[in-house]
Amino acid sequence: MATRGMRRVTQSGLSILGIVVVFVILWEGYKFAWTALEWSWPVRPDNRTIPHTWDIVGALFQPAQRNGPLLLWVELKAALLTLREALVGFLIGGAIGFGLGVLFVRSTTAERAFMPYVVASQTVPIIAIAPMVVVWGGRLAVPQWLTVSLIAAYLTFFPVIINTVRGLRSPEATSMELMRSYASTPRETLWKLQVPAALPYIFTALKVSAAASVIGAIVGELPAGFRGGLGRDLLQFSQQFTAAPQKLFAAVILAGLAGIVFVGVITFTEHRLVAAARRQA
């Protein structure tokens, strides 16, 4: 079993590496071919618009500021800070989503009363909500990073609530009737039948939410004026794009990595909790 696990890790490592290689070839190939053919559509192949891949990686290994630490360290620290905010937001949003999901399945009255607002909440753009949360958080003396987490939570709870409701309702009618015939209490039916049945649905939502919580944290850092996270740096580098485009690309790569790490942790947990035959996506 151990060797099979090892082989799987090696295989997925190789495939990830393969994709990186293919991507680099496509990127540099585009630059080379478009320059040679003097094409400029859809994207100009010059170093301002599409920096060389080695320049992007190289930017990570240069000091972020004169005589300062390497950009890689600065951005890794920023990514960790942002991930922490995202994680706390994810936990808050996940708990709220699961709790409301259970409530809605227990009480259709509650579902009918609140579901429209839950849906409406997601049509309001996060950039409109974020400043309000920042202002309210400031008044209530909530720590700045927690304010950012609350903004992340706002993006997180929705997929969880929708999938929790669906998952808790997924057991067949006969399974529910069996529980009834055992004179099972609603709580026991919830934990022994409905929640296990809902886990594949909930994990699908958690993966979406994990990625969304990273976005929520990055976006939330901007109105919060939170320094040291990825959001601030992404904004700063995009303003400096014409001067040093490779810095923005480098920060984007780290933001992407942060999301991948988070989703990876969720997938790992799912594999421990849910049998292979029952996983959805």
Partner 1 sequence: MPPAVEARGVGMVFGRGAEAIEALKDIDLVLAPGDFASLIGPSGCGKSTLLRLIGDLATPSAGELAINGKTPEQARLDRDYGMVFQSATLLDWRNVKRNVELPLEIMGFESEARAAKAQEMLALVQLEHFADHYPWQLSGGMQQRVAIARALAFNPSLLLMDEPFGALDEMTRELMQQEVLRIWEETDTTVVFVTHSIPEAVFLSTRVLVMSSRPGWISDEITIDLGTKREEDTREAPRYFELITEVREALRRDERGKA
By the criterion CB under 8 A, which residues form the site for partner 1?
Answer: 172, 174-175, 177-184, 188, 192-193, 196-197, 199, 274-275, 277-278
Q: How far is the CB of 75 from partner 1 (least distance, A)?
A: 41
CB of 60 to partner 1, least distance (A): 44
Minimum CB distance to partner 1 smaller for 122 or for 184: 184
* 3-state class (DSSP) for residue 140: coil
| CA pair distance 45, 272, nearest whole angstrom | 46
User: Which tokens hold the place of 43?
Assistant: 């994207």
User: Closer to partner 1 at the Cβ: 178 or 257?
Assistant: 178
Please give the DSSP secondary-structure letter assigned to residue 63: B
The single-letter code of the amino acid at 56 is: I
Please say which residue, 176 or 260, places its beta carbon nearer to partner 1: 176
Q: Minimum distance from CB of 91 to partner 1 (Å)?
A: 24
> Smallest gap, in angstroms, from Cβ of residue 189 to partner 1?
9
Cβ proximity to partner 1: between 136 and 191 the closer is 191
Q: Which is nearer to partner 1, 170 or 267 (CB)?
A: 170
Round to whole Å and give the CA distance between 258 and 273: 23
Taking the least distance from each CB to partner 1, the nearer of 168 and 218 is 168
Listed in sequence order, the DSSP H helices in the chain are 2-37, 53-60, 71-106, 108-123, 126-139, 144-168, 173-181, 186-189, 195-224, 230-239, 245-273
User: Cβ 171 to partner 1, closest distance in Å?
Assistant: 9
Residue with tokens 């259970």: 102
Instruction: Reduce the DSSP state of residue 193 to 3 states and report it.
Output: helix
Smallest gap from residue 187 Cβ to partner 1 (A): 11
Give me the amino acid identity at 242. Answer: T
Rounded CA separation 165/105 (Å): 6
Nearer Cβ to partner 1 (46/177): 177
If one counts every other C-beta atom within 10 angstroms of the C-beta of residue 203, the result is 22
* Residue where the block lists tokens 């909790």: 273
Least separation in angstroms between residue 273's CB and partner 1 is 9
Cβ–Cβ < 8 Å for 92, 160:
no
